[in-house]
Amino acid sequence: MYELIVFDWDGTLMDSEATIVQCLQKAAEDLGYPIPEVARAKDVIGLGLHQAVARLFPGADEKQVDALADRYRRHFLSEERPPSPLFPGAEALLRELASNDYLLAVATGKSRRGLDRELEHSGLGRFFHYTRCADETFSKPHPQMLLDVMDYLGTDSGKTLVVGDTEYDMQMAANADSDAIGVSHGVHHPQRLQQQGALAVFDELEQIAPWLQAR
């Protein structure tokens, strides 16, 4: 049924939630802003960086958002920061899907520089036919990122499945007329994913391949 599987990155394949929250909090501390609570910081994960910062600090003007985003990047891209771990089963899932000739891609709220770093550190870059980042096009839930992936790989929306952990992933898929499934180990509660059209929500990545085989 599906030819193309498009993965979100943070909270879906990589367990980077704590790192992102800490970097957002450090950015606020550096510039003298109120430090956001963990729950609020978690809720914007999945959006492009500028969109996430603007939502987290609604009183900030464009210049202030730029400054906060820059401080976030400095912390996140620091060579002193250890890489975040992959979720259990991430590499095995991608290997199995690749062996079954699925086209694999990433559509993420990360920057190109940030994603390339994580693909290199994790060793997962070899599995993906194409990747698209929020600093290259519109942020989720806008569908353009997903439409770009489909256009590049020559696949239509009816044969494309999005895998993500946030309602922004589910909304992006719906806005592109594609299907989506969720994972429960990310930042948004499974009920939110289901309310936004997730066909299923899985607790373990290893459950996805059998589900696909049964379609």
* Burial of 121 from C-beta contacts in 10 A (0-12 / 13-18 / 19+): middle
Residue 138 makes CB contacts below 8 A (sequence gap 6+) with 144, 145
* Active-site residue, selected from the candidate residues 10, 43, 169, 179: 10
Which amino acid, 198?
Answer: A
Peptide bond into 85 cis (omega under 30): no
10 is catalytic: yes
Cβ neighbour number for residue 131 with a 10 Å cutoff = 23
| DSSP letter for each residue of 13-81 | TB--HHHHHHHHHHHHHHTTPPPPPHHHHHHTBTB-HHHHHHHHSTT--HHHHHHHHHHHHHHHT-TTS
30 is catalytic: no
What are the residue numbers of the active site?
8, 10
